[in-house]
A and B are shown apart, each in its own frame.
Chain A
Amino acid sequence: KNEVEQSPQNLTAQEGEFITINCSYSVGISALHWLQQHPGGGIVSLFMLSSGKKKHGRLIATINIQEKHSSLHITASHPRDSAVYICAVSPTGNQFYFGTGTSLTVIP
Chain B
Amino acid sequence: DAGVTQSPTHLIKTRGQQVTLRCSPISGHKSVSWYQQVLGQGPQFIFQYYEKEERGRGNFPDRFSARQFPNYSSELNVNALLLGDSALYLCASSFTPTGGYEQYFGPGTRLTVT
Query: A residues near B, CB below 8 A?
Result: 4, 29-31, 33, 35, 40-45, 48, 50, 86, 88, 90-101
Contacts and interface: CB of A to CB of B under 8 A. Distances in A.
Interface residues of B, number: 28
Given A30-B98, A50-B100, A43 B48 contact: no
A85 B108 CA distance: 17
Contacts, number: 71
B27 interface: no
Nearest to A94: B56
A96 B35 CA distance: 9
Contacts of B42: 4, 86, 88, 98-101
B103 A45 contact: yes
B107 A30 contact: no
Given A30-B99, A98-B45, 16 more contacts: A30-B100, A31-B100, A41-B88, A41-B90, A43-B43, A44-B105, A88-B43, A91-B99, A93-B98, A93-B99, A93-B100, A94-B56, A96-B35, A98-B35, A98-B42, A100-B42
A43 B89 CA distance: 12
A98 B43 contact: yes
A18 B110 CA distance: 34
Contact of A95 (B48, B90, B105, B108): B48
A72 to B, nearest CB: 15
B44 interface: yes
A36 to B, nearest CB: 10
